[in-house]
Amino acid sequence: MPQPVPADLLEIAEALVPHAPPDAARLAEHGNMHHVVLFPGVAAVRISKRPSHAATLPRRVEILRAVAAAGLPFAVPEPLTAVVTFGERAAVALSWIDGKPMPEGVGDPAAFGPLLEALREVEISPQLKAVLHTPRRYADGLGWADILSEEIIPRLPSKWRDGVRERLDTMLALEEVPARLVHGDLGGGNVHFGEDGKLIGVLDWDMAILSDPAIDAALIATWHGWDVLRATDEETRRRALAWNGAVGVGHLHAVFTGEPLPRVDGFVSSVLAWLEERG
């Protein structure tokens, strides 16, 4: 639910979108890295929370430019301004994406099938290759399989280790497929539909990578229910189940970066909570 905007954030947002009516501004509920000030129908302004987040905002904007140039059959947020600094903060105004997400646990296969197909068929341009990371299984200890096998599984309680390692082996047994555009965070409020149920746009490409399209299928299924994958082929469903099986597909973005985990204990705690909920 959008909230009133604090004065310091409203001042930044108005500087970037001076033509927007200030009394329409609302603060969106969002992640740990950015505040998002909404001017409905006009723009969404992302404002970094910390200096480290300000430093990464230009790259995130380049990702949006590359994705917008990919010719997807739905809207994506496009930068309306350059990235502007305000002291230790950085901000950018993005185009407004209309529509609204489907609730958790609700999903129509006919709505999500075309989304997955469109992502799978995007031509991987030099522009996308330049800004998107391709996760590797093994990479001098920083591949996703390295991190899960060497840092995460040994820290889990003993009763979980064998099962997680077995499911990790299932993931590793997947035949590698050509890397495609993967959004990396499909679910929650990031996929917007019109009142007629048709896909309008997809927000928040911060976690986009070049990898297996079945990762996005798994992300959709864990939010909207696995029945939504009836619109995909059996092989995609099999791969999606494997990607989700070991530690939960929603955790994988943290080990896909090719960088050390900043908070290993916190990651382990989150995985353990997922395992216990799964039973």
Q: How does pLDDT run across 235-262, given as a tens digit for each residue?
A: 999 999 999 999 999 999 999 999 999 9
Is residue 108 within 8 A of residue 233, CB to CB? The reply is no
Distance, CA of 96 to CA of 224 (rounded, Å):
24
Q: What is residue 218's predicted lDDT score, i.e. its pLDDT?
A: 97
- pTM of this structure: 0.94
Residues of each domain in the chain carrying CATH 3.30.200.20 = 7-95
Q: What is residue 2's predicted lDDT score, i.e. its pLDDT?
A: 61
- Collapsed DSSP state (helix, strand, coil) of residue 253: helix
* Mean local confidence (pLDDT), 211-224: 96
Q: What is residue 105's predicted lDDT score, i.e. its pLDDT?
A: 83
Q: How does pLDDT run across 184-206, given as a tens digit for each residue?
A: 999 878 999 999 888 999 999 99
- Write the DSSP string, 80-91: SS--EEETTEEE
Q: How does pLDDT run across 50-91, given as a tens digit for each residue?
A: 999 999 999 999 999 999 999 999 999 999 999 999 999 999
Q: What is residue 266's predicted lDDT score, i.e. its pLDDT?
A: 97
Q: Which of 60, 23, 35, 276 is nearest to 184 (CA)?
A: 60
Query: In CATH, what number does 7-95 get?
Result: 3.30.200.20
Q: Which residues pair with 38 in a beta bridge?
A: 26, 44
Q: How does pLDDT run across 10-30, given as a tens digit for each residue?
A: 999 999 999 999 899 999 976
Residues of each domain in the chain carrying CATH 3.90.1200.10 = 109-278
**What letter would DSSP give residue 3?**
B
Q: Which of 276, 262, 275 is nearest to 32 (CA)?
A: 262
Is residue 210 within 8 A of residue 128, CB to CB? The reply is yes
**CATH fold for the domain made of 109-278:** Aminoglycoside 3'-phosphotransferase; Chain: A, domain 2 (3.90.1200)
- Write the DSSP string, 56-124: HHHHHHHHHHHHHTT--SSB---BSS--EEETTEEEEEEE---SBPPPTT---HHHHHHHHHHHHH---
* Region class of 184: left (phi > 0), else alpha (psi between -120 and 50), else beta: left
Q: What is residue 125's predicted lDDT score, i.e. its pLDDT?
A: 95
- Collapsed DSSP state (helix, strand, coil) of residue 197: coil
Q: What is residue 104's predicted lDDT score, i.e. its pLDDT?
A: 87
Least confident stretch, 19-23, 41-45, 170-174, 255-259: 19-23
Phi, psi of 123 (to 5 degrees): -70, 130
